Structure formats: structure tokens, C-alpha cells
Amino acid sequence: MHKLPWLRHLPYGIVLLLIVAFGVWRSQVENQEQAKQQARHEQEKQQARMDFQGMTMGQTIAHCRALMSGYAQHQLPLALAWSPGRLEWYVPSGVDNTSMRHQSCTSEGIRGGWRYPRAAISPALNAVDVNLFTYYASFADEGTVALEAAIDPATQTRLERRWSHAGAGTASPPAVALPLLLHQPAPHLAVKNVPANPPLAGATDWLKQPTQVLDVLARHLPPDARISEIDVREGSIKLTIVGPVKNFDNKPPASFGDASFDEYGIRDADWWYPRDSGSCSPGYSLSQVSALLAQATNLNDPRVWNAWFGCNRGKGDWVLRVPKRRR
């Protein structure tokens, strides 16, 4: 009796079927494990939000300051605002003494924000040595559900507004017109009676306005300065010039110097940060850099995510980077 021909291939078919079944099973197990991990992650986030929501103001400040130490952020706050589950503060940023940079801390960590007009404007504000974090770290008032505070540099006193469960805000001193510092006030708070403090206008996406980048740099370049390198991102500009540049600790002058600018074109410092290396030397004038920009590839491409000027094989050029196409 002869065997049927297909019986000879039956073992291979069974093996193939087992391989396919195992692949399907493993895929299902991996999907289930990913779903469990996602569920655990969401539960942990929810628990973190609940824990953060239940912290007192002092506990919130201690928690957020511990996080801040990892970011090397040691600036004294010019103003702060607290509500359950959220701490906000405003710090000096750059050479502009009429604005302040918003920071916030929630269960998801620390985030930076826009610039805002200073709650109390004074050229001497940076010299005020009053730490609002330290002052309010031991704050305890069961009747307060939110609090805002700032330093008046003229009188060295705290300007404060406490919000009660009834939704009313009580200012101290009573006549103070402290602008609203809370970004996400509880719905029952009567914030419509408080002066608004909208963010500064004029934030620019430099990648969409490359010629404005050169306008910003023109206001800060020393006479006859030579440009070594420029790095442009959506909300920042970094400029390197050819030295000599004053160095630290009485060291010999540095060969190059850096300056940075934010999305408002505000410079980080009024001096050049010394460095020993750069891209182009002896560098290019601003007019030469401008002419090269006009010839740059991808100049008007909305996908540009970085614009860089520097030297490649000794020749200055602009490189405007766009995402690579997938093959």
C-alpha cells in the first residue's frame, strides 16, 4: 500500500502551523503586557496627582525645590502663586528688567513658560534678597485655598493676595493692585475682579523669520565684529563671535565669545561668554552672513527645524535642516 504524497509534507505543515500560532500567542501576550503597563502608568500618574493635590503649600514648595535642584535653577522668585496641585513662580531672565519668566511645578514636573510683565517694575528688583520660597515654606492657613505674592522693591515689603473657600481674594496691603499670577485658578475664585497680566507680545519663531534673526544680532554686535557661528532654533538664537573676549579669573582673552537670545530677542547677559573654539575664523561680517543667507537652500521651507551658519572646509555657509524623507 502506497502512502499518500501529501502525508510526506504533513510534519512540515504542522511545524509551520505551530510557528504561526506561537507568533500570534506571543503578540497577544505582548499587547496584554503593554496594556497592563499603560494601566499601571496611568494609575501611578493619577496617584501622583492626588498626592500632589493633597500637599500643603509648604510641602509643595519643598517638593518643587527638590526637583529644581536637578535643573540648577537657583534664582530667587520675583513672585509666586500657589493653589492645590500647582505651584507657579516668576524669575528674572536675561537683561530685560521689565519682564519675568514663568515657571510651574505640578505632579508631572517642572515646566517653563512665557515672559510676563513684572508685578512690580524697578531696576533694583534683582538686588532684592527676599526668598519667597523660604518665607512661605512654613505657611499654614486652613482658610486659604490659593495664594499669590510678590516683592515690592521700593518698600521691601511683600505684596500678597489670599483666596478663601468663598472665592474672595484679600490683598495685603489692602490697596495693592497685584496682577493675577495664578494661571489656572479654581472656577469659584472671583478672578474677574483682579487686573489681568497677559504674557508679553512679540514672541517669534525665528525659523519662520530668519531675516529678523539678523536684525536682533545687529543690535548686539560690537563694531567691526566678526561672526564665527550662529545656531537658530524655533525659540532661541545662539551667536558666537571671533575674539578676543574677556575671560574668567584673569585668564588670557578667549578666542571666541557666545551670547544667547530667547524667543523675544532678549539677550541672556550683557557680556560675552568666553570659549576657546568656534567654527569660522577670522569670521564673517554681518553683511556677508546676510548675503549668504539669501542664497541658502530651504530658506522658505516651512519644515526647517534648525538653521546653522558656520564654516565647512574653511568656507562660511548656511545649513537649513529639514526632516529626512523616509524611503
Residue 265: pLDDT band with limits 50, 70, 90:
very high
CA atoms of 253 and 246, how far apart (whole Å):
5
Q: What is the pLDDT of residues 105-125, one digit of tens each?
A: 998 888 888 999 887 644 444
CB 178 within 8 A of CB 171: yes
For 204-250, write each residue's pLDDT tens digit: 999 999 889 999 999 999 999 999 999 999 999 999 999 999 999 99
- Tell me what percent of the residues of the chain surpass a pLDDT of 70: 83
What pLDDT was estimated at residue 25?
A: 80
Mean pLDDT across the chain: 84
Lowest mean pLDDT among 159-173, 209-223, 244-258: 159-173
